[in-house]
């Protein structure tokens, strides 16, 4: 009888061990600093991070800085002084956080750079992002293939203009750099003609990745170069992301272009406006970066830092922030067009079909 009772007890103990709730993170507070609410992707990133961290039991201080550097600095300062144990930061200007992060380092608060690398600060412990160089290569190679550049000559060139993002964002070096590594040989051969002559990163930059700024510059290019459906030919506009693509597209629509003769416009993020434009045939491609995957990797990093285990890393060579290589996790970007958006965005539950109507 005794034996049976102890067997039953043992069985109960095993079952309850399995049924025990997973160890929660208690009241550990994590600061999440996002650049702005103005661009759709950062809202998604912020809310994904908050939800996933809370699910693991963390308390989250999520702040958006309205694309204002001073606001971001003071929000991060506040996170440090109110007891955050880990900071996750998507910077507005990667070079503007050095002194506030020195305070984090003194307090031994680890910092994870989120999507954008934080430069010149030795307080940055880890970096999680997408393979940003690959994003640029996708965009550049798409233009080469679609415009049939390998079959063209100087006598039959493709006319193109170039747009990238904010020069304070280190990612720009990789997006624009990746695309230009592909496009430059064709520019040098005269197979791509940039009529404005604006080809440097500084000339092609867009303050704060702003749609309005991109629209203004495209309007200026249209009038200064005489682009139009029945005027000077324009075959493509390289854009590093969707917020700039949306401004470029607005200007091209206003200049009279329609889906039948629309220049190829590139992008990245698969934001809702751009995905709708792809469906309408007025943006040619985008790059899908599943922010759910990025958020879940960063949550793993936070969790590992709090538990003293090794955070996930898959790149130890690409991202030097000026103080040395920052161990990184690079998520995979995916090439997106009108042809595959349904599988990528709707079937995966990223958007509902209704959101794209």
Looking at the Cβ atoms of 72 and 241, the one nearer to ligand BGC is 241
Please report whether residue 209 would count as binding ligand BGC according to CB under 6 A: yes
Query: Is 191 within 8 Å of 149 (Cβ atoms)?
Result: yes
What's the closest the beta carbon of residue 69 comes to ligand BGC, in angstroms?
Answer: 15
b/e map 2-18, b = 16+ CB within 10 Å: eeeeeeeeeeeeeeeee
Please report whether residue 217 would count as binding ligand BGC according to CB under 6 A: no
Residues facing residue 124 across a β-bridge: 111
What's the closest the beta carbon of residue 268 comes to ligand BGC, in angstroms?
Answer: 6
Report how far residue 275's alpha carbon sits from residue 353's, in angstroms, rounded to the nearest whole number.
Answer: 11
Could you tell me the two tokens for 23? 């160890």
- Binding to ligand BGC (CB under 6 A) within 167-196 occurs at 169, 171
Applying CB under 6 A, which of residues 45, 93, 269, 303 lies at the interface with ligand BGC?
A: 269
What torsion do the CA atoms of 167, 293, 288, 331 make, to the nearest 10 degrees?
Answer: 60
Report how far residue 130's alpha carbon sits from residue 33's, in angstroms, rounded to the nearest whole number.
Answer: 18
Looking at the Cβ atoms of 186 and 209, the one nearer to ligand BGC is 209
What's the closest the beta carbon of residue 267 comes to ligand BGC, in angstroms?
Answer: 8
Please report whether residue 41 would count as binding ligand BGC according to CB under 6 A: yes
Q: State the number of binding residues for ligand BGC (CB under 6 A).
A: 13
Three-state DSSP at 224 gives helix
Report how far residue 179's alpha carbon sits from residue 161's, in angstroms, rounded to the nearest whole number.
Answer: 13
What's the closest the beta carbon of residue 254 comes to ligand BGC, in angstroms?
Answer: 23
Please report whether residue 48 would count as binding ligand BGC according to CB under 6 A: no
Report how far residue 287's alpha carbon sits from residue 270's, in angstroms, rounded to the nearest whole number.
Answer: 6
Could you tell me the two tokens for 117? 């690398």
Looking at the Cβ atoms of 131 and 269, the one nearer to ligand BGC is 269
Q: Which residues bind ligand BGC (CB under 6 A)?
A: 39, 41, 115-116, 165, 169, 171, 209, 241, 243, 268-269, 289
């Amino acid at each position: 009888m005794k034996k049976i009772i102890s067997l039953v007890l043992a069985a109960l103990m095993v079952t309850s061990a399995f049924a025990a709730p997973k160890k929660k993170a208690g009241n550990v507070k994590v600061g999440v600093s996002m650049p702005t609410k103005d661009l759709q992707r950062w809202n998604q990133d912020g809310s994904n991070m908050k939800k996933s961290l809370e699910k693991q039991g963390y308390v989250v201080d999520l702040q958006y800085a309205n694309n204002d550097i001073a606001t971001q600095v003071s929000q991060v300062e506040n996170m440090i002084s109110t007891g955050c144990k880990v900071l996750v930061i998507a910077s507005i200007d990667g070079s503007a956080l050095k002194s506030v992060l020195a305070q984090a380092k003194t307090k031994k608060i680890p910092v994870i750079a989120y999507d954008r690398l934080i430069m010149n600060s030795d307080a940055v412990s880890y970096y999680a992002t997408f393979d940003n160089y690959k994003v640029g290569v996708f965009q550049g190679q798409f233009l080469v293939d679609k415009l049939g550049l390998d079959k063209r000559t100087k006598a039959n060139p493709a006319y193109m203009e170039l747009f990238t993002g904010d020069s304070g964002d280190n990612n720009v070096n990789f997006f624009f750099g990746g695309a230009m590594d592909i496009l430059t040989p064709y520019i040098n051969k005269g197979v791509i003609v940039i009529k404005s002559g604006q080809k440097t990163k500084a000339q092609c930059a867009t303050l704060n990745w702003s749609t309005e700024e991109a629209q203004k510059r495209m309007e200026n290019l249209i009038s200064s170069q005489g682009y139009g459906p029945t005027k000077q030919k324009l075959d493509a506009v390289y854009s590093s992301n969707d917020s700039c693509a949306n401004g470029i597209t607005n200007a091209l629509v206003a200049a009279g272009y329609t889906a039948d003769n629309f220049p190829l416009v590139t992008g990245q993020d698969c934001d809702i406006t751009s995905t709708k434009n792809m469906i309408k045939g007025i943006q040619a491609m985008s790059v899908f970066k599943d922010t759910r995957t990025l958020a879940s990797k960063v949550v793993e990093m936070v969790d590992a830092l709090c538990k003293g285990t090794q955070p996930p890393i898959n790149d130890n060579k690409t991202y030097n922030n000026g103080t040395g290589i920052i161990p990184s996790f690079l998520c995979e970007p995916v090439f997106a067009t009108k042809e595959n958006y349904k599988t990528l965005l709707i079937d995966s539950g990223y958007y509902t079909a209704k959101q794209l109507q």
